[in-house]
Amino acid sequence: MSPLPTLTADELERYARHIVLRDIGGPGQQKLKAARVLVIGAGGLGAPVLQYLAAAGVGTIGLVDDDTVSLSNLQRQVIHSTADIGRAKTASAADAIARINPHVTVEAHATRITADNAAALIASYDVVADGSDNFDTRYLVSDKCFYEGKPLVTAALGAMDATLTTLKPHESGPDGKPNPTYRCLFPEPPPAGMIPACAEAGVLGALAGMVGSMMALEVIRAIVGFGEPLVGKLLMMDARAMRFETISYDRDPDNPLNGDEPSA
């Protein structure tokens, strides 16, 4: 195991409020500096994830997005500005991260994550945060994270509701059994057209900010190792009632990844 990187005098001051936290401290901040995190999407969820991971001092942030900034993005994708309209989201986000924290290295992947490139992208990072807006990508990323043995923080936004969970199916839980997969929670995607796209249904911008910040917190916990992550737990948020509920879910022995008879 490589030794943890040292913190410069500037970094010690920058992260002082982390370092005095008993759950993080100097060693935890060094773990953040050494960490490599891949963020899928620089949209409504990805924007606050990127901002807070950069501010927290995650040493290397990879960003995957093939889109450009449009005016309708700015209501919720707060890492971009009006001046960025028409630019690649990866470039816009990289510039914003540099303004937030010059100690962070950004690896921009201006491409769409696909079955052809997902494994190679995921393999070179320690933790993955998926802020994508479609089920095809969520299943692809979760499957590849399982095969590459990488923790995954994944969330989904509705118009006024959201869900968040952390997946570590390549590891065992307290009961000695493998942790559940994304397919244990959602065995199959919903039929096409059942869930309207953001452009049709709308989305509350502040909700995206709240959920993305919580994703960043889960990533930081995965790196530093404090608290109880949302492994085997689905956090559900209702913005209309400001209600939060957490349900537990277990490994499905019939799931195709780490079930009793794996088939995928």
pLDDT in tens, 70-82: 999 999 999 999 9
Torsion of CA 202, 203, 204, 206, to 10 degrees: -150
pLDDT of residue 177: 87
Question: 83: which 2 tokens?
Answer: 């001046």
Residues of the chain with pLDDT under 70: 1, 192-200, 264
pTM attached to this predicted model: 0.95
So what's the pLDDT on residue 261? 83
Nearest to 53 by CA among 161, 132, 126, 141: 126
Sheet order of strands, 161-167 included? 105-109, 60-64, 36-40, 127-130, 152-157, 161-167, 233-238, 243-248
Structural domain boundaries in the chain:
35-248
pLDDT at 182: 96
Residue whose tokens read 């065992």: 172
In a 13 Å sphere around the CA of 104, the CA atoms on its Cβ side amount to 30
- What pLDDT was estimated at residue 262? 85
Architecture per CATH, domain 35-248, reads as 3-Layer(aba) Sandwich (3.40)
Output the pLDDT for position 264: 62
**Cα separation of 142 and 7, whole Å?**
33
pLDDT in tens, 108-157: 999 999 999 999 999 999 999 999 988 999 999 999 999 999 999 999 99
pLDDT at residue 1, rounded to an integer: 59
Q: Are 253 and 188 in contact (CB under 8 A)?
A: no
User: What residue type is 204 in one-letter code?
Assistant: L
Q: Are 38 and 128 in contact (CB under 8 A)?
A: yes
Q: What are the backbone angles phi and psi of residue 136, rounded to the nearest 5°?
A: -55, -45
